[in-house]
Amino acid sequence: MNDQAGKDARLDAREQKIISVVVTASKRSELASKVPYNVTAISEETLRRENITDAKRLISESVSISAPGNSARFTDSVTVRGLNVSPVSANNIEQFVRSTLSYYLDDTPLPFMGYRIKDISRVETLLGPQGTLYGSGSLGGTIRYITNQPVLNKTELKLNTSFYQTKKGGLSNDTDAIFNLPMGEHFALRGSVARLDEKGYTDRVSNPPWNKNNGAGTWITKPNAGQNVYEDDDWQKVNGGRVALLWKLHDNVSVTLAHTQQNQLAHGSSGASLLPLGIANATTDAEKLAVWNYDSYGEACGPKGESACPTYKDAFNTPFAVNDHTILSRYEEFSDRKFKLDSV
């Protein structure tokens, strides 16, 4: 009898630890266990503990959503439960990709997936078509970032920072600060600022040949014609912030004005391919012509000894080599994304 009583007591203790999760995916507050569709909620504590700071890291934690890993400059083609409107081989630059997954900050649509997850109460992931409540672009599902709201009776100040480094790259830093300030009985102000300085780890070398007849196989590097090697080229810098003002008119009536802003400058790519070392390291016209085949029009057709022609006209070079091949990547371009959101 004593053993049975002990088991019952332990069972009761475990049951008391169950925490009810409230979501607003259906536009009203409901228990997640009662919502009649597939919804997952991740709390602020879990986001911090797992270091989930953007949509790509969030997607990596999901078994139903997948996206190819790439640098911050790209908007990857997201696949939800095998559903995607873009082919796998599609160009993953932002203007060429159409995702079946939509993103919302509270009830405001986000223009792209690069929003940084800072001062977020929870993240709700809704799988399956959500067009009834969330409109076009949500055929596969919707991700909602639910922000922390101003609180009338609590003064709060938080500062978080972290440092990390990728092998062969520089030291990166991610810092954010959050405050909540009551302003009398009816007003409260909440704000947050964040900065990400993420160093790259892929070195770009702008020396592969391309057109033999145009300039005798010469290659002009970008953006600096006098520079051939660009170290740690796939970096990004993101600055963002949010401010919200609460005005409580009545016990059951309140108005919140919010402004959100984020600027992202992302450079280069961490994507990689393989090319023979002779092509990657060729610097003179003679070396280029010795390792590269040209067609009758003088266009580069492919490396000698290889049957397939590559489909790129620029390359990066990482310091890694595999047998007689080197790992190459491309894209020296950058993207400069800026957006502002106002909500009531």
The pLDDT value recorded for residue 314 is: 35
The pLDDT value recorded for residue 307 is: 45
Count of beta carbons in the 10 Å neighbourhood of residue 112: 16
> Which domains are delineated in the chain?
1-147 (2.170.130.10), 204-230+270-329 (no CATH)
Supply the pTM of this predicted model.
0.68
Residue environment code for 273-283, b if the CB has 16+ CB neighbours within 10 A, otherwise e: eebbebbbebe
Angle at 80 between CA 75 and CA 84, to 5 degrees: 65
pLDDT in tens, 274-294: 444 445 455 555 665 565 555
- Cα 317 to chain centroid, rounded: 23
pLDDT in tens, 323-337: 343 444 444 455 566
Structure tokens, 150: 């101003």
Query: For the chain, which residues score pLDDT lower than 50?
Result: 1, 16, 89-96, 207-220, 273-278, 280, 296-297, 307-332
Cβ–Cβ under 8 Å, residues 149 and 190: yes
**Amino acid at site 63:** V
Structure tokens, 61: 């934690």
Please write down the HEC assignment for all residues of the chain.
Answer: CHHHHHHHHHHHHHHHCCCCCEECCCCCCEEHHHCCCCEEEEEHHHHHHCCCCCHHHHHHCCCCEECCCCCCCCCCCCEECCECCCCCCCCCCHHHCCCCEEEEECCEECCCCCCCCCCEEEEEEEECCCHHHHCCCCCCEEEEEEECCCCCCCCEEEEEEEEEECCCCCEEEEEEEEEEEEECCCEEEEEEEEEEEECCCCCEECCCCCECCCCCCCCCCCCCCCCCEECCCCCEEEEEEEEEEEEEEECCEEEEEEEEEEEEEEECCCCCEEEEHHHHHCCCHHHHHHHEEECCCCEEEEECCCCCCCCCCCCEEEEEEECCEEEEECCCCEEEEEEEEEEC
